[in-house]
């Protein structure tokens, strides 16, 4: 769930912040800079080229990012595209994925270069191979940057770490340490230095605090953008009046929508709790939850009714907007071609390695089961999953689990080692799919993917099988980054049916 600053509680409030020092403003001279400048910011991409596509309308994708950026540039004002670190890697490249991870970093760099990246302040994850790697990629990598409109003229925007931002009319601090929480603690010092804004990046974990957030009530605004390229942060700066007065931070309409979305999510959660309280006869709790729902509904009405402030015409101001990169954003053709070429090269290399050094499945431990596949009978047995459970298998064939492999083939990623393990059965387990060159018979999320290896069960039914797999089994693949909004009971409804837990629909049990 995305979050917003508590400053949105009063949309009409406008807080003043220092943007440029008086000397910098005077040195710029009257009319020596444009009226309107836009910063576009991304960070914590972690080499993510695009979402896996395992859930509906997953955000992200460098091809969508390129389209969104081109639309902003088409507006005509100077646009500076910057990133604050942790762009190339999530972790040091290692194991079978090492080559693929380096390829992804290189493709990320090529895509950003194609978008006209103006400034790249590498984080420590970007430097895991050494400082030579970002330089070799040709990115505008460094610690401090001075940017000019159109690449010429006087400096207009300067970026760098707090305490070392060059002089310019617009000075922005880059804080690569713990997102907005760490950056907000430095806001007062940033104000004294005459900075306009702090751009925050670097969460310790990929999914930690993975939200769009702007803190407008700090001494200077602090902006954090959702990681893995899921959104862009847009900061519009209006250079009107005397820059020495400092800039006013004006709440944007998109922040109101974020706040309303958060309220709706909270109301849905309270509604579920209220229904549970009524069902269990907890009348007092139900009344308390009713009051909370009424309070939230009133807050939503107030927000919708409040006019969104407009940038003042007589003084400098800034507006922060977030642009989610969902399916409604078309993919840029040139960057899409880069991604397609990347996936083809990954497949070529991974398949070549698999053929040169096949990886056989490990032998099962003594007395342990192995995977056999839906259509096979185990050695010494006479029947398969389909042979004993035809109704269950027939229903399974109607589910998305039975089309898991096809979803990879459709996007050319069936040889992607970061994906294939969750689209086959028994990945690198005894009897399972253990090599991308040998997945026949183990493609898709078959019965054993949920119920466990079935060789012993087929020989000695009804035991030796997990009849009611728990949520932990699902979470091995239905991770937050791949399966947004995963919730066991609603997902179960997509896999149970005739002969396969049909009586458990909507209940707390499992098939």
Eight-class DSSP state of 213: E
Token reading at 271: 């509604």
Q: Is the pLDDT of residue 508 over 50?
A: no
State the average pLDDT over residues 90-111: 95
State the average pLDDT over residues 295-320: 85
pLDDT score for 343 = 96
Exposed (0-12), middle (13-18) or buried (19+): which is 33, by Cβ within 10 Å?
buried
Report helix, strand or coil for 288: helix
What are the tens digits of pLDDT across the range 56-96?
778 999 999 999 999 999 999 999 999 988 999 999 999 99
Which residues, including other chains, have CB under 8 Å from residue 250's CB and lie 6 or more apart? 14, 309, 310, 311, 312, 317, 318, 319
pLDDT bucket at 31, cuts 50 / 70 / 90: low
Q: Between residues 451 and 26, which one has the greater pLDDT?
A: 451
pLDDT score for 506 = 44
Among 20-24, 330-334, 481-485, where is mean pLDDT lowest? 20-24
Q: Between residues 375 and 113, which one has the greater pLDDT?
A: 113
Which CATH code is given to the segment(s) 358-504? 1.10.1130.10
pLDDT score for 49 = 96
The percentage of the chain sitting over the pLDDT mark of 90, rounded to a whole number, equals 57
Q: Is the pLDDT of residue 21 over 70?
A: no
pLDDT score for 9 = 37
Among 13-17, 105-109, 118-122, where is mean pLDDT lowest? 13-17
pLDDT bucket at 503, cuts 50 / 70 / 90: low
State the average pLDDT over residues 372-376: 89
Backbone angles phi, psi at 261, to 5 degrees: -65, -40
Task: Please identify which residue in the block is written with the tokens 């940057």.
Answer: 145
Q: How far apart are CA 178 and CA 279, in angstroms?
A: 43
pLDDT score for 253 = 61
Asked if 385 and 452 touch (Cβ cutoff 8 Å), the reply is no
Q: Between residues 9 and 134, which one has the greater pLDDT?
A: 134
Backbone angles phi, psi at 310, to 5 degrees: -105, 150
State the average pLDDT over residues 300-321: 84
Task: Name the CATH code of domain 35-252+308-324 (choices 3.40.50.1100, 3.60.21.10, 3.20.20.70, 3.40.50.970).
Answer: 3.60.21.10
State the average pLDDT over residues 10-33: 43
Q: How far apart are CA 441 and CA 424, in angstroms?
A: 9
Report the candidate in 163, 168, 166, 169 with the shortest Cα–Cα distance to residue 189. 163
Q: How far apart are CA 222 and CA 380, in angstroms?
A: 66
Q: How far apart are CA 135 and CA 269, in angstroms?
A: 48
Q: Is the pLDDT of residue 323 over 90?
A: yes
Report helix, strand or coil for 324: strand
Q: How far apart are CA 131 and CA 103, in angstroms?
A: 17
Mean model confidence pLDDT for the chain: 86
Report the candidate in 496, 510, 503 with the shortest Cα–Cα distance to residue 395. 496
Q: Is the pLDDT of residue 18 over 50?
A: no
pLDDT score for 8 = 42
Q: How far apart are CA 106 and CA 342, in angstroms?
A: 9
Token reading at 78: 């100077």
What are the tens digits of pLDDT across the range 210-220?
888 888 888 99
pLDDT score for 153 = 83
pLDDT bucket at 480, cuts 50 / 70 / 90: confident
Q: How far apart are CA 399 and CA 447, in angstroms?
A: 12
For 12, 45, 272, 383, the CA distances from 107, given in Å and listed in that order, are 43, 12, 44, 48
User: Domain segments of the chain: what residues?
Assistant: 35-252+308-324, 256-307, 358-504
Q: Is the pLDDT of residue 159 over 50?
A: yes
Token reading at 186: 């430095």
State the average pLDDT over residues 335-342: 97
Token reading at 9: 């509680």
State the average pLDDT over residues 147-174: 91
Radius of gyration (Cα) for the chain, nearest Å?
A: 27
pLDDT score for 372 = 92
What are the tens digits of pLDDT across the range 225-243?
999 999 999 999 999 888 8
pLDDT bucket at 510, cuts 50 / 70 / 90: very low
What are the tens digits of pLDDT across the range 392-405?
999 999 999 999 99
């Amino acid at each position: 769930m995305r979050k917003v600053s508590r400053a949105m509680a009063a949309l009409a409030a406008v807080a003043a912040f220092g943007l440029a020092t008086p000397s910098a403003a005077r040195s710029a001279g009257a009319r020596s800079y444009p009226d309107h400048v836009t910063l576009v910011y991304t960070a914590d991409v972690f080499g993510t080229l695009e979402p896996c596509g395992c859930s509906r309308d997953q955000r992200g994708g460098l091809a969508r990012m390129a389209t969104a950026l081109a639309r902003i540039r088409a507006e005509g004002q100077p646009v500076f595209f910057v990133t604050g670190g942790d762009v190339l890697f999530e972790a040091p490249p290692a194991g079978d994925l090492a080559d693929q991870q380096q390829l992804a970093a290189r493709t990320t760099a090529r895509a950003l270069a194609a978008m006209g990246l103006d400034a790249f302040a590498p984080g420590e994850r970007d430097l895991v191979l050494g400082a030579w790697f970002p330089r070799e990629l040709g990115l505008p990598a460094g610690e401090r940057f001075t940017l000019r409109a159109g690449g010429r003229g006087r400096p207009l925007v300067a970026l760098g770490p707090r305490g070392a931002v060059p002089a310019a009319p617009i000075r922005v601090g880059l804080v690569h340490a713990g997102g907005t929480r760490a950056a907000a603690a430095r806001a007062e010092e940033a104000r004294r230095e005459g900075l306009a804004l702090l751009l925050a990046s670097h969460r310790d974990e990929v999914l930690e605090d993975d939200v769009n957030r702007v803190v407008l009530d700090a001494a200077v605004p602090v902006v954090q953008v959702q990681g893995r390229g899921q959104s862009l942060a847009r900061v519009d700066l209006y250079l009107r009046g005397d820059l020495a007065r400092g800039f006013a931070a004006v709440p944007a309409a998109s922040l109101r929508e974020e706040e309303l979305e958060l309220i709706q999510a909270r109301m849905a959660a309270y509604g579920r709790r209220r229904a549970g309280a009524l069902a269990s006869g907890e009348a007092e709790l139900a009344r308390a939850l009713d009051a909370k729902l009424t309070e939230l509904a009133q807050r939503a009405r107030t927000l919708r009714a409040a006019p969104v402030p407009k940038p003042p015409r007589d003084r400098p101001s800034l507006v922060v907007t977030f642009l989610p990169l969902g399916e409604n954003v078309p993919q840029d053709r040139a960057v899409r071609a880069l991604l397609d070429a990347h996936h083809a090269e990954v497949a070529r290399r991974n398949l070549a390695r698999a053929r040169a050094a096949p990886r056989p499945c490990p032998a099962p431990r003594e007395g342990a089961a192995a995977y056999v596949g839906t259509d096979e009978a185990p050695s010494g047995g006479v029947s398969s999953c389909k042979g004993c459970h035809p109704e269950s298998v027939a229903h399974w064939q109607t589910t998305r689990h039975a089309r898991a492999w096809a979803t990879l083939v459709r996007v050319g990623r069936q040889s992607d080692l970061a994906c294939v393990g969750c689209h086959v059965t028994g990945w690198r387990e005894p009897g399972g799919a253990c090599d991308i060159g040998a997945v026949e018979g183990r493609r898709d999320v078959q019965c054993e993917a949920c119920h466990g290896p079935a060789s012993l069960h087929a020989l000695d039914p009804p035991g030796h099988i997990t009849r009611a797999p728990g949520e932990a089994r699902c979470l091995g693949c239905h991770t937050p980054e791949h399966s947004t909004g995963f919730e066991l009971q609603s997902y179960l409804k997509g896999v149970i049916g005739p002969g396969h837990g049909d009586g458990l629909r909507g209940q707390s049990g499992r098939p």
